[in-house]
Amino acid sequence: MGLGHKSIIFAAKVMAESAIDLMTKEELLKKAWDEFEERLRGRKYKSPLPPDLKPPLDLWEKSKK
């Protein structure tokens, strides 16, 4: 297994552990929301993706052909 593959696996583990922490530690989630709101400074968050954009869920099927 190459370094790139190992790095991706490690990053996935870190993100999964972070998600678990946010779901199980209420004070950590509140702190994250507070920081998010502070960084917005009263502005409203607007996603850079169009609201009607659909994920290409059939991409895997198309690539197998």
Q: Which one is predicted more confidently, 64 or 15?
A: 15
- Spell out a b/e string for 25-63, using b for 16 or more CB atoms within 10 Å of the CB, else e: eeeeeeeeeeeeeeeeeeeeeeeeeeeeeeeeeeeeeee
Q: Write the pLDDT tens digit of every residue in 32-64.
A: 999 999 999 999 989 999 999 998 888 777 777
Which pLDDT score, from 0 to 100, does residue 21 have? 97
CA–CA gap between residue 18 and residue 24 (Å, rounded): 10
Which pLDDT score, from 0 to 100, does residue 11 have? 98
Q: Is the pLDDT of residue 65 over 70?
A: no
User: What is the average per-residue pLDDT within 20-30?
Assistant: 97
User: What is the average per-residue pLDDT within 23-37?
Assistant: 96
Structure tokens at 30: 């509140």
